[in-house]
Structure 1
């Protein structure tokens, strides 16, 4: 267990406080954006669900395509500047979408272009975010930093999901998109104020982009624990996308009371996400990847209970457990990567992690509909639960997953006036 009071003093560090504020505001903006964009596009004259699919696909494909390039950029340049560019591009994209919605000039090519810019912005931003944390805080505070960032992210995500629907009703989709763009702009300004010094980055030998990608792949593939868990998630996310995106809502509509029931399940997961972050402020396992992988097993519970026709309260309780487990996993995973991967390759490794973990998610969405028709949504959900459990157990067979140990932390002062990361600023 760990001293929360000593760790929370990290909030006095100006640079970490700026990073936390920027990330919290950015997530609030990104939580507003999907609801406003969906309702804005669907309200256009002649728009159909296919129109929305085209716009969302235009955002998703560039994000996947440019993710590895984003890792290379973030390992070559100061990460705060890379994040600033990513946030700035998102601000520009959503402001353009807002202007189109508010003026009524909404050509599909224009919507697609703005959405594509947002996807590229995310691909640039995400690898830099993982890599910047060790640039800002000392090694012994990494888990606390990731936990606090996660707490701010989860609170903003929940607030955004709650407020975005009301905002679309009260001020309209166009102005809601403008609010999202303004939040991204504020986040870009806060990140720009970090002012990381060149001494905090290890100078790496410059290669071509392909050479940098090969070096990043070597760092990624040389760590068994890393590629095994990414392979686990590449399959696990297929099941999760099918269950969360299609099968769960179908069962909720057919037998649990419709949208309010599914909203209760998602709310339970959100509560669990916040609770999980609070746990990680105290938990310091000696084998973090083993603990993190074990925690993926209980995430099958909501799908198992939905498939077994359990009452709604039981499904909601299982969703709380899922949220706790996934957020503990996320903090332990990010902290371990930041400790084990050299700083000069961290963003590239993070981009391989994101690409490998998420690229097959759309497969689950494509398979869920046919599976629900052919065998029914409940049996399909039981299949999703089985997939989650089996791939998690298979990951535990890896010696790298079971045996990787975290370094022992030396006890520090209870309440220094400034966090160590600030001292060299």
Structure 2
């Protein structure tokens, strides 16, 4: 927190997004376990998770365009209160909803999330000086990961002890609270030089194409989500039920993924290596342990440790990566590029969720998980061959400095 407390507007926005992160993690855990409890299987869980990914893909770029045109605090307020209202209605009518209605609810909530992500991340550099970006982004990640762990454990515990309705009501409450924290936040409207939304989108794409290192990293993360994340998250609730101890084991594994990120954000907030890209991409190799741990006959403790290492790897990478984008991308297109970063990450995720079932039928769950781990390792290392990736900076800028 050193130096950050001198910027109360940042602390205020940070606190709200940390609160909303509880709802972001609590909701998919609650709905996935509710679907399994009503007789659903891998196909139904894939549909729920895939609906969220599809909505993010469809709405993230729109969120980035809006973040560069409107006051970002208003975007955050509207997205949070929309999600709170939707989940309140869903909780009250849960007994009358068919299972196929839940992916629609998840998709609508994810649309609100897609508006929030680029708005908040592009708001951060307007609330902090450049010298505090790593610390600010590390604090954001730490709060979100801590809240995500709370959300995962809360979702699994609530469904097991009380029921899914209570989980949905809790998610609605935390989104409502998150909205209150940005109410009347004194930020200015973002400026854009484009005259149309389509031109805005083209400006963002052009900014990425002009920086091959940015495109390479975005593509690598997208492949990781297609293989490692989609396979592991789809099979985790089933494996948890079969051999890890049940629903609480599902929540514990996800909580370990989040808690493992906490030492990563502390390290990334303090350590400033010259080759930030090199250490970040090497760290991402550790994410391969997430699918690999489910392929091996490990007890719950072993799976939790592997997930914690995976969480460390992802968050260590993420702090340096977001800070690099905030430094290297002009403010007029930053929201769109951040949206494209998220869009690139999630673009193949729905495909991954849909392919998990057929791949498992074809080669078996164990080999599907092992193959996902191999892809994560190979693509992380190969990405370093692109100029600019090792330093997370434009090569020309690196030579001048």
Secondary structure of the 1:327 match is helix
TM-score, length-scaled by structure 1: 0.82
Shift of 1:280: 1.6
The aligned counterpart of 2:263 is 275
Q: 1:99 aligns with which of 73, 89, 92?
A: 92
The aligned counterpart of 1:328 is 316
Shift of 1:97: 0.9
Rounded to whole Å, the distance in 1 between the matches of 2:37 and 2:304 is: 32
Secondary structure of the 2:375 match is helix
The aligned counterpart of 1:4 is none
The aligned counterpart of 1:167 is 158
The aligned counterpart of 1:286 is 274
The aligned counterpart of 1:319 is 307
Unaligned runs of 5+ in 2: none
Superposition map of 1:82-97 within 5 A: 82-97=75-90
8 Å CA contact 2:87, 2:171 repeated in 1: yes
The aligned counterpart of 1:63 is 56
Rounded to whole Å, the distance in 2 between the matches of 1:264 and 1:58 is: 24
Rounded to whole Å, the distance in 1 between the matches of 2:99 and 2:296 is: 43
Rounded to whole Å, the distance in 2 between the matches of 1:115 and 1:319 is: 24
8 Å CA contact 1:18, 1:193 repeated in 2: no
Secondary structure of the 1:11 match is helix
The aligned counterpart of 2:345 is 357
Rounded to whole Å, the distance in 1 between the matches of 2:369 and 2:101 is: 38
Shift of 1:251: 6.3
Moved more, 49-58 or 121-130: 49-58
Rounded to whole Å, the distance in 1 between the matches of 2:49 and 2:237 is: 20
TM-score, length-scaled by structure 2: 0.86
Rounded to whole Å, the distance in 2 between the matches of 1:345 and 1:37 is: 36
- Residues 307 and 161 (structure 1), Cα distance of their counterparts in 2 relative to 1, 3 Å cut: closer
Q: 1:384 aligns with which of 362, 366, 372?
A: 372
8 Å CA contact 1:96, 1:114 repeated in 2: no
- Residues 237 and 400 (structure 1), Cα distance of their counterparts in 2 relative to 1, 3 Å cut: same
8 Å CA contact 2:53, 2:346 repeated in 1: no
Shift of 1:12: 4.3
Secondary structure of the 1:394 match is helix
8 Å CA contact 1:251, 1:377 repeated in 2: no
- Residues 56 and 368 (structure 1), Cα distance of their counterparts in 2 relative to 1, 3 Å cut: closer
Unaligned runs of 5+ in 1: 1-6, 409-425
Shift of 1:206: 3.4
Rounded to whole Å, the distance in 1 between the matches of 2:55 and 2:377 is: 32
Q: 1:34 aligns with which of 18, 28, 44?
A: 28
- Residues 110 and 392 (structure 1), Cα distance of their counterparts in 2 relative to 1, 3 Å cut: closer
The aligned counterpart of 1:420 is none
- Residues 290 and 260 (structure 1), Cα distance of their counterparts in 2 relative to 1, 3 Å cut: same
The aligned counterpart of 1:401 is 389
Rounded to whole Å, the distance in 2 between the matches of 1:298 and 1:36 is: 28
